[in-house]
Chains A and B, each alone.
Chain A
């Protein structure tokens, strides 16, 4: 773009008719190269903090649900997070179905949170969606909150019998993990 007849800029180097010096290109190219190089080096140092391969390996958990009587629940563990498996009584299912889902903070019906043909089995993560505490209510004699489901003692979130958030600071319902029935008494989570 520059020819020998063009004037010299004060710093040396020729200036084109548009005021652009050849040296400007070198500056920009050097800067861009350095920025890309710095980002390329930074990424491994940032990425090393992400979950490692062994943690990410999708572990599945099998749970024998035969001993769980209606009204009872158990705690199990999947991907190092607690999972609640609860056998809902007909009264608890009715209580959950009576609520108009549209009025809820995170609108979902019991049917959307359970599997066809096994509406009494409520499988949720035992992780409060507020700040990750384990809610009470799965074990015998624990406080089940004002809606008969689960109660998180950390910051007072109340979940109903479908594990839906009803009161307190939690933004969403207890998460339902992917799971399937391998037999009527055996589920596989994950």
Chain B
């Protein structure tokens, strides 16, 4: 897709003309991330995190392929082979620390990306499929990260595998058979580590495939923007290249600076020291925690401590944990407000920040031992998480009175500029009057 005013691809040499008429790859790139893709001119720095997530995925794939050349997927050698990478392999320490912290950074940028989508209503029509593919990617990322964490076969690896695969044993009747099918034995063992290695290598490429679908789906309506107002004409957009490629490279530099700082100076801060102890099937670490990016979901899992409605507490916890993510698939239909951007939703803006706080609280509780007062705090936060999506959003959509929307993106940009330079707004409203605004959608 493209807006009618998008630049058209013109081959510049005989060679590109020859190629373009046989395999129109240059044209494809030009229309996807080049000058042929118009982007709303007012998108802010929060819109750079999608590209950063793409870079994070590539870093994981490249470092992962290299690590697989030195790693040995067997319970007797896995732990030693990771130490071998750290001590003997040339630059092995660097590549492993990049892979280890790259996962954390991937989740950081993806979480910012998700909350940006929540704030500006990027999940609403016509971008529902873009959002849902994003949720698919999040699920795949979690599965991949979990299986990768098992591979070093340290204490947290082993017991993480035990706890997560045991989630499936909560399913009535067939749960235990499914658990044994997943781990290939009575407990995590060699069959588990080999299959996890195989799948851990496979899934990033599946993620890459879904990313391609997601970018494809995004290019149909084009990017959302901080006003949430639809693009109406050329005055609302700028070509992706060179404006946004330059902006993306700037944030990429900042991202890599932060990444390098962590990799070189505090590479183990985000990990757990117990995973440097070889796995021992006879001794559970005193305090099992997943990696930080899974903590909020872990807190929801643990929030259920009593049986309720004939369903045991264990099954409730598992249902709630999966539901907390599956719920996001339905978000475009739970929030029926026609205003996309939270900037124009004064009531929702408050609840949005409560949700952000709630997720941080869940993450904090997930890292704490299963005792009071953390259990109670976790229960309250988990209850809010579900109430936010299932009660507050649908009700707000009906009762909230949104602020007046700008007539166009250009008008909003110019009004903001006028305010910034001390000239008060209303004069700017007439700017887009010259162009007949096309009807939205």
**Chains A and B bind each other:** yes
Q: Shortest Cβ distance from B298 into chain A, in angstroms? A: 10
A48 to B310, CA, bound (A): 35
A148 within 8 A of B: no
Inter-subunit contact A156/B284 (CB<8 Å) = no
Q: Which residues of the partner chain B approach A105 to less than 8 Å between Cβ atoms?
A: 307
A52 within 8 A of B: yes
A80 to B280, CA, bound (A): 11
Q: Which residues of the partner chain A approach B58 to less than 8 Å between Cβ atoms?
A: none
Inter-subunit contact A81/B186 (CB<8 Å) = yes
Q: Which residue of B lies closest to A157 (CB)?
A: B370
Given A49-B195, A50-B181, A156-B370: A81 touches B187 (CB 8 Å cut-off) = yes
CB contact between B162 and one of A79, A133, A153, A168 (< 8 Å): that residue: A133
Q: Which residue of A lies closest to B374 (CB)?
A: A156
Inter-subunit contact A170/B159 (CB<8 Å) = no
Inter-subunit contact B191/A80 (CB<8 Å) = no
Given A131-B166, A169-B313: A82 touches B184 (CB 8 Å cut-off) = no
Q: Shortest Cβ distance from A144 into chain B, in angstroms? A: 14
CB contact between A55 and one of B189, B288, B314 (< 8 Å): that residue: B189
A134 to B286, CA, bound (A): 10
Inter-subunit contact B182/A171 (CB<8 Å) = no
A132 within 8 A of B: yes
CB contact between A133 and one of B169, B288, B302 (< 8 Å): that residue: B288
Q: Shortest Cβ distance from B340 into chain A, in angstroms? A: 40
Q: Which residues of the partner chain A approach B181 to less than 8 Å between Cβ atoms?
A: 46, 49-50
Q: Which residue of B lies closest to A172 (CB)?
A: B312
A134 to B288, CA, bound (A): 11
Q: Shortest Cβ distance from B198 into chain A, in angstroms? A: 11
Q: Which residues of the partner chain A approach B184 to less than 8 Å between Cβ atoms?
A: 49-52, 55
Inter-subunit contact B191/A82 (CB<8 Å) = no
Inter-subunit contact A134/B284 (CB<8 Å) = yes
- Interface 1/0 per residue, B274-309 and A, CB below 8 Å: 000000011110111000000000000010110100
Inter-subunit contact A79/B186 (CB<8 Å) = yes
A133 to B289, CA, bound (A): 12
CB contact between B282 and one of A46, A75, A132, A170 (< 8 Å): that residue: A75
A-B CB contacts (within 8 Å), total count: 96
Q: Which residues of the partner chain A approach B169 to less than 8 Å between Cβ atoms?
A: 132
A130 within 8 A of B: yes
Q: Which residue of B lies closest to A79 (CB)?
A: B186
Q: Which residues of the partner chain A approach B256 to less than 8 Å between Cβ atoms?
A: none
Inter-subunit contact A51/B288 (CB<8 Å) = no
A49 to B195, CA, bound (A): 8
Given A133-B284, A153-B287, A171-B312: A80 touches B195 (CB 8 Å cut-off) = no
Q: Shortest Cβ distance from B235 into chain A, in angstroms? A: 54
A154 within 8 A of B: yes
A80 to B182, CA, bound (A): 16
A55 to B307, CA, bound (A): 34
A115 within 8 A of B: no
A77 within 8 A of B: yes
Given A79-B186, A155-B302: A51 touches B191 (CB 8 Å cut-off) = yes
Inter-subunit contact B282/A134 (CB<8 Å) = yes
A79 to B186, CA, bound (A): 7
Interface on chain A toward B: helix, strand, loop, or mixed SS? loop
Most buried by A among B165, B180, B182, B304: B180
Given A79-B186, A81-B186, A133-B284: A169 touches B305 (CB 8 Å cut-off) = yes
Within 8 A of B (CB), among A50-105: 50-52, 55, 75, 77, 79-82, 105
A163 to B375, CA, bound (A): 24
Inter-subunit contact A153/B282 (CB<8 Å) = no
- Interface 1/0 per residue, B410-433 and A, CB below 8 Å: 000000000000000000000000
Inter-subunit contact B370/A82 (CB<8 Å) = no
Inter-subunit contact A55/B312 (CB<8 Å) = no
Inter-subunit contact A51/B186 (CB<8 Å) = yes
Q: Shortest Cβ distance from B395 into chain A, in angstroms? A: 32
Inter-subunit contact B281/A82 (CB<8 Å) = yes
Q: Which residue of B lies closest to A139 (CB)?
A: B283
Inter-subunit contact A130/B314 (CB<8 Å) = yes
Q: Shortest Cβ distance from B73 into chain A, in angstroms? A: 15
Within 8 A of A (CB), among B305-332: 305, 307, 312-315, 317
CB contact between A169 and one of B165, B186, B317 (< 8 Å): that residue: B317
Inter-subunit contact B187/A80 (CB<8 Å) = yes
A79 to B283, CA, bound (A): 16
Q: Which residue of A lies closest to B375 (CB)?
A: A156
B185 within 8 A of A: yes
Inter-subunit contact B282/A80 (CB<8 Å) = no
A146 to B23, CA, bound (A): 72
B369 within 8 A of A: yes
B14 within 8 A of A: no
Inter-subunit contact A51/B312 (CB<8 Å) = no
Q: Can you sample 13 A-B contacts with CB below 8 Å?
A: A49-B191, A50-B180, A50-B181, A55-B185, A77-B282, A129-B314, A133-B288, A134-B284, A135-B284, A152-B284, A153-B369, A155-B302, A169-B304
Instruction: Give the interface of B toward A (CB within 8 A).
Output: 159, 162-163, 165-167, 169-170, 180-182, 184-187, 189, 191, 195, 281-284, 286-288, 302, 304-305, 307, 312-315, 317, 369-371, 375
The 7 tightest CB contacts between A and B, nearest first, are: A156-B370, A132-B166, A171-B312, A131-B166, A133-B284, A134-B284, A131-B163
Q: A133-B284, A156-B375, A169-B304 are in contact. List 11 more A-B contacts (CB 8 A).
A: A49-B191, A50-B184, A51-B191, A77-B282, A82-B281, A126-B282, A133-B159, A135-B284, A153-B369, A154-B288, A155-B302
